[in-house]
Amino acid sequence: MIFRGLLGGHRARADVLRTTSGRLVTMRIVSLAGGIGGARFLRGLQVAEPEAGITVIGNTGDDITLFGLRVCPDLDTVMYTLGGGIDEDQGWGRAKESHTVKEELAAYGVQPQWFGLGDRDFATHIVRTQMLGAGFPLSQVTEALCDRWQPGVRLLPMTDDRAETHVVINDADGRRAVHFQEWWVRLRASVPAEEIALVGAADAAPAPGVLDAIREADLVILPPSNPVVSIGTILQIPGIREALSEKTVVGVSPIVGGAPVRGMADACLTAIGVETSAQGVLEHYGAGLIDGWLVAEEDAATRLDGVEVAARPLIMHDVAAAADIARAAVALGRELA
Ligand code: FO1
């Protein structure tokens, strides 16, 4: 029973000191992660560094309450991708999914109908909502859900507090703030974002274990997740950016040759006045945070004082390619440490 899984929570701590195969950890890596790009990179990192103990600090700014259920897209994308349950083509949601519940909800005319929740995925949100309602913090709920999925990493939400990304737009319905998911999924970021704000960030605290994991890390990696609404949100949780600035941090550029590899990071970068380029994102993160920056060969001219730039192919067209990129990120980190 999932609650019993929760009571064994301390066991998860011990697991961090051992890899899934029980071997002692040779290197402790912390990775901040958002959705699809981050999850795919992490799957490569597990192949590249099977002996490493990996802690993932997951973005919860995308979280949304729908039909009374709490949905955590980026945590679920990491959990399903590393746990073997992801819909590989979509990059989010469950494999072998059906949508009977969604169709029945639509038959009742309930809104929204633009967010595609599958039947299997609903179970995750029901269990999560049940446990949150019983008073368990999101970090313990996530640990319990991962008890089933065994992702092979320790997955921590960036915070247990409410911090949601909202987007200010101005369209035919006037100037207003909408939830990030409505801008991202219903509007496909087609309406310019005048502002992207993480509502609640100032009052949010890092989830238990987040700052300790960063402090104890041998290396921190920022995967090619969205630098604004995934990595950027995690950096806004008080204390996290400061803790990272003490560590060796290697980032992987999410922009290749002036365009995002996938998703709509360009719409997000434009919204905050940052150029959609490996150079622009590096300057946005800053040399105070980044020590090493992995860029695609076409972006080899990227430079910033105090940052070691390395160029290589960055397209993760399969797990092996993701593993090669992860291997290069770890090598750059080792060189800088
Ligand atoms: N993305 C879409 O483009 N369309 C959807 O209908 C959709 C549903 C959805 C359901 C659960 C979930 O965990 C993710 C879902 N996503 C969908 C992806 C989601 O918007 C993004 O993964 C992140 O929020 C941004 O990384």
CATH number at residue 258: 3.40.50.10680
Query: How many percent of the chain have pLDDT more than 70?
Result: 93
What would you measure as the largest C-alpha separation in the chain, in angstroms?
59
For residue 80, being part of any structural domain is answered with no
How many whole angstroms from 240 Cα to the centroid of ligand 1? 25
| Segments forming the whole domain that contains residue 260 | 2-61+159-163+199-336
- Which ligand 1 atom sits nearest the alpha carbon of residue 226? 26
Whole-number pLDDT of residue 184:
96
Is residue 156 over pLDDT 60? yes
For residue 53, being part of any structural domain is answered with yes
How many whole angstroms from 189 Cα to the centroid of ligand 1? 13
Residue 186 burial by Cβ neighbours in a 10 Å radius (0-12, 13-18, 19+): middle
Residue 230 dihedral angles phi and psi, to the nearest 5°: -115, -70
Whole-number pLDDT of residue 24:
73
CB distance 151 to 82 below 8 Å: yes
Rounded to whole angstroms, how far apart are CA atoms 41 and 321?
9
Instruction: Name the closest-CA residue to atom 4, ligand 1.
Output: 185
Which amino acid, residue 138? L
Residue 246 burial by Cβ neighbours in a 10 Å radius (0-12, 13-18, 19+): exposed
Range 83-107 burial, b when 16+ CB lie within 10 A, else e: bebbbeeebbbbeebebebbeebee
Number of structural domains the chain divides into: 1
For residue 14, being part of any structural domain is answered with yes
How many whole angstroms from 258 Cα to the centroid of ligand 1? 24
For range 20-46, the mean pLDDT: 89
| Residue in 199, 151, 155, 159 with CA at minimum distance from that of residue 177 | 199
Size of the chain, expressed as the number of residues it contains: 337
- Other CB atoms within a 10 A radius of the CB of residue 144 amount to 23
For residue 306, being part of any structural domain is answered with yes
Integer Rg of the chain from CA: 19
Per-residue pLDDT band for 21 (boundaries 50, 70, 90) equals low
Q: What is the pLDDT of residues 216-249, one digit of tens each?
A: 999 999 999 999 999 999 999 999 999 999 999 9
Q: Report the mean per-residue pLDDT for the chain.
A: 94
For residue 33, being part of any structural domain is answered with yes
Query: How many percent of the chain have pLDDT more than 90?
Result: 90
Retrieve residue 101's tokens.
């519940």
Is residue 8 over pLDDT 70? no
Whole-number pLDDT of residue 10:
44
Q: Is 93 in the pocket of ligand 1 (CB under 6 A)?
A: yes
Q: What is the pLDDT of residues 50-87, one digit of tens each?
A: 999 999 999 999 999 999 999 999 999 999 999 999 99
Q: What is the pLDDT of residues 159-193, one digit of tens each?
A: 999 999 999 999 999 999 999 999 999 999 999 99
- Which ligand 1 atom sits nearest the alpha carbon of residue 72? 13
For residue 55, being part of any structural domain is answered with yes
Q: Is 324 in the pocket of ligand 1 (CB under 6 A)?
A: no
For range 142-147, the mean pLDDT: 98
Whole-number pLDDT of residue 17:
55
Cis peptide before 157 (omega within 30 of 0): no
For residue 39, being part of any structural domain is answered with yes
For residue 173, being part of any structural domain is answered with no
- Beta strand segments in 275-318, E: 292-295, 308-311
Per-residue pLDDT band for 268 (boundaries 50, 70, 90) equals very high
How many whole angstroms from 8 Cα to the centroid of ligand 1? 31
Whole-number pLDDT of residue 261:
87
Q: Is 117 in the pocket of ligand 1 (CB under 6 A)?
A: yes
Is residue 23 over pLDDT 90? no
